[in-house]
Every structure is written in structure tokens, then in C-alpha cells.
Amino acid sequence: MMSGTPTQRIMALDRGLKLGRHLRFDWFDVTDVDRIDFPEGIESATGELLYALVAIARPRTILETGTRMGIASRYIALALGDHVEDGLLITLERCGYCFPIAAKKFREQGFDEIIWAKQFDSRAFDPSEAFPDGQTTIDMLYLDSEPQYRYEEFHRYLEYLSEGALIVIHDMVSLHCRQFHGVPEWLQPMIESREVSALSFPTDSGLTVMQYRRKDWEK
């Protein structure tokens, strides 16, 4: 196993990645790809938190929307490889420019057995496509596609979530932030009944972590 922090390990695998300060946090600059401007993807602190969440919660199956350059994907994949036997990350990207670049990096950096990547609309994907046995349970959602789609994606995959599943939404400073047009009607009663609980972090872009608990969770 390569030594160092998750950020150091990812940067050792990809010499095109550099870190630079943007506002209060360090972000990634992808120096070997055209048409990708700094800052890119996620804050490195957010990547470290994603790694820690996987290391602690041990989700076997994770679905990510918005692969982009695959930076968050690689933090998640590192954690799965380190801590979860037979763990799988399914990552979806609509952009025809970004997807081939990210998929190539996954292959070159040895993540093929952990990351199942597909160029697809995240609002219509059937998770069973990623499994030969038709499994459909998702233990963690990481939503980082276009902001206007993220609550729609949450609702789309709600029926597939396991008990105690984590839902992590990048760019969300709170459940009520204007960028996401507030809490949707279908989610409000789930929050009030504590079926969904949330904690938000004030990073440069914002990050909200939720946990989904079915009504019979405590039973």
C-alpha cells in the first residue's frame, strides 16, 4: 500500500494534479487537461472527508453522480480498496469531454476493479446494470452533478438505499440553500420524522452529509 495521506497518494498517481488555494481551502488544478480551469472538482479537505466516511461507515456499494475528472472518485476508491472487501464505486458522467479522460485515468492508475464508470444520465440509470447478480442496494450516494439535478437524483435512488445509507451532496451549504431551491416537498416530512438527518459543513462550496434511516430503523 502506498504511504501518505489520501491526497498525497492521489497526487503521486497523477502528476497532472496540483493544489492551489481558492478562498479558504485548497482545490485541485488539472494541469494536463485542456478546457479544465482551476479550481476543479472538490476541495482536498472534502476528498479527505469522503475517504474518512468510507473508512468509518464501510459502504460496500457507492453511487456517484458527476464524475468530472474523477478526483472524488479516486478518494472514494482508495478508501474502498483500503477498508472494504469487494467494495464498488459506480460513477456516472454525462459530459462527453470529461468522461473519457476520467475513465482513462482510472485505468492507468489501477482503479478498474473498484470503479465502474459509465457515461450516462444519472436521472435515468438502473443500478442493477453494474451487477451481474442484479443487486440494487446502495450504501452511499455522492451527488456532484449539475446542482438542479441533485435532489432529483436523491429521489430517484431513494428506493435503492440501504438502512443507514449516507447521502453526501457537494456544493450544498445547507438543506435550504437557494442554489437547490430549498427542501423539496417529498423530503420535508422525512426530515421532520428524522427518517433523514443532515449535517452541513461550511467549505468553500459547501458540503452536506445526510443519513437515511427507515421508519423501523430502531426496531
Tens-digit pLDDT profile for residues 35-55: 999 999 999 999 999 999 999
Q: If pLDDT is split at 50, 70 and 90, which confidence band does 132 have? A: confident
Interatomic CA distance for residues 16 and 11, integer angstroms: 8
How much is the pLDDT for 215?
56
Give pLDDT tens digits for 146-171.
988 999 999 999 999 999 999 999 99
- Cβ pair 66, 145 in contact under 8 A: yes
- Strand 17-22 to 25-30 pairing: antiparallel
**Reduced 3-state DSSP string for 26-89:** EEEEECCCCCCCCCEEEEHHHHHHHHHHHHHHCCCEEEEECCCCCHHHHHHHHHHHHHCCCCEE
Looking at the domain 43-212, which fold is it?
Answer: Rossmann fold (3.40.50)
What cell does 190 get? 422525512
pTM (2 decimals)?
Answer: 0.95
Interatomic CA distance for residues 67 and 91, integer angstroms: 6
Interatomic CA distance for residues 122 and 145, integer angstroms: 8
Interatomic CA distance for residues 126 and 118, integer angstroms: 12
